[in-house]
Amino acid sequence: MKRLAILITALIIILVGCNATTEPTTEATQPTSETTTQVATTTEQTTTQTTTEVATTTVAETTADPNIPGEGEVYSAINGTVIPEASAAQRPLAVMMDNFYAARPQAGLNAADIVYEAYVEGRITRYMAVFQSHLPELIGPIRSSRPYYLRLAMEYDAYYAHVGGSMQAMTDIINFQMADVDGLASGKDTFWRKKHKKIPNNMYASSESLIAWANRRKYRTEAKFDSWKFGDDYGAQDAEKLTGFEITYRQGKGENDKFHYVPGFDYDEKSGKYLRKLNGEAYLDEVTEEQLYADSIIIQCAKTRVIDSYGRLAIDVVGSGKGYYLYDGVAIPITWKKDARRERTRYYTADGDALVLKRGKIWVQLVKPDFELVQKGE
């Protein structure tokens, strides 16, 4: 069995790579390769979100153990937590969320069951948040689509919310017959701009407004996707301690450079959660002002390449590769495989066994094959 890391005695640094060459990237400011200009005039809603809403349903009295479903409850197929049956039956909502510096902080990320982060052009990143068990009143800023994100959204057979997209992404949405919820077509009652941020980094919606539009489009409402494997025997026996790390998506000229894109997580032993940071600072939700967190983290190495003069990217999320799984302050090497665009990505331990995941909120960080995982230490 391969070891995850080489211990360096003096610095206690774990340094491992995904054993591949770096693909070229291009410099840019903000991605501009949408198929049409984003709507500039919409009405700002005045409703203020105060709490994150759970999907509305009638639930029987829960059992003493919150990790065991009671009457009217089941395990989530997305992250393995206990949720109402009505929530599990509803089609998930996948939302493209802006991560340009002018868009931060975002609203709704902590309510997502799983969050993906990947490159877009200009060596900056964008999120896709998937909601099912909790449906927030405010989500955003919402931004445009990219083809590789479609292949992730289709894993959940999700309603797909975005504001425009690259030409290829918009073509694929039609060809793949996705449950499309596009801010360029749905009107101001579904998406709206908030005045505290500037166009194009200020488009918001609510889960209710997005699902209402999907219902008007007569999309199927029930969930149809496979679950990963969750359980108490998660992870692997060869795990090594790793309590903090960073990912340098783009190195700015300094920590105060607005194009400095260095997210990271620190494991909090008391809560058992990974607390998210950005450029060394706590990363907070726009509405709740709570620090973003994950219960476990998947780092997925995928081939990434520039495909045109605009700096548009192809990220091979269909295929196979290596990666890491982080949970309970430790990390293990893993591999991944996705056979087709609608298939779930499957993760495996170094021994080739199906990876059992810890129940709870998951963040998936898509990185290049030459990524190096570094233990920051405490």
pLDDT mean over 326-354:
97
- The pLDDT value given to residue 237: 85
Of the candidates 117, 213, 218, 200, the one whose C-alpha atom is nearest the C-alpha of residue 164 is 200
pLDDT at 187: 86
Please report, for the chain, the start and end positions of each structural domain, with discontinuous segments joined by +. 15-30+229-374, 73-216
Q: Are strands 346-349 and 330-338 parallel, antiparallel or unpaired?
A: antiparallel
For 29, the token pair is 């400011």
Q: Measured between alpha carbons, how far is 300 from 311 in angstroms, rounded to an integer?
A: 22
In this predicted structure, the answer to whether residue 203 has a pLDDT above a threshold of 60 is yes
Residue 85, pLDDT above cutoff 90: yes
d(CA 371, CA 31): 23
What is the Cα 250 distance to its own chain's centre? 18
Q: How far is CA 72 from the centre of its chain?
A: 28
What are the tens digits of pLDDT across the range 28-80? 456 654 544 343 334 444 444 443 444 444 444 544 587 899 999 999 999 99
**Are the C-beta atoms of residues 364 and 177 closer than 8 Å to each other?**
no
Identical fold at 15-30+229-374 and 73-216?
yes
Least confident span in 194-208, 302-316, 364-378: 364-378
- Out of 32-41, 109-118, 237-246, pick the least confident: 32-41
Among the four given CATH numbers 3.50.90.10, 3.40.50.150, 3.90.1570.10, 2.40.480.10, the one describing domain 73-216: 3.50.90.10
Confidence of residue 126 (pLDDT cuts 50, 70, 90): very high
Give the pLDDT confidence score for residue 16 in this predicted structure.
Answer: 44
- Those residues whose C-beta lies under 8 Å from the C-beta of residue 320, and which sit 6 or more positions away, are 335, 336, 337, 338
Pairing mode, if any, of strands 362-367 and 114-120? parallel
DSSP 72: T
Any idea which architecture 15-30+229-374 has in CATH? 3-Layer(bba) Sandwich (3.50)
- Euclidean distance between CA atoms 112 and 184, whole angstroms: 23
Q: Which of 175, 145, 171 is nearest to 31 (CA)?
A: 145
pLDDT at position 49: 45
Residue of higher predicted confidence among 283 and 38 = 283
Mean pLDDT of 275-293: 96
Whole-angstrom Cα distance, residue 261 to residue 258? Answer: 8
Q: What H or E segment, with its residue span, contains residue 152?
A: helix 147-153
Tell how many helices (H) and how many strands (E) occur in the chain.
4, 24
Q: Residue 256 has what pLDDT? A: 72
H or E element in which residue 119 lies: strand 114-120
For residues 134-154, give the mean pLDDT.
98
Strands 330-338, 319-327: parallel, antiparallel or unpaired by DSSP? antiparallel
Closest among 209, 159, 202 to 186, alpha carbons compared? 209
In sign, the C-alpha dihedral spanning 204, 157, 165, 185 is negative
> What integer best gives the mean pLDDT of the chain?
87
Question: CA 373 to CA 17: how far, in whole Å?
Answer: 7
Nearest alpha-carbon partner for 211 in 37, 86, 91, 351: 91
Average pLDDT over residues 346-366: 98
| β-strands 124-131, 93-97 pairing | antiparallel
pLDDT of residue 172: 98
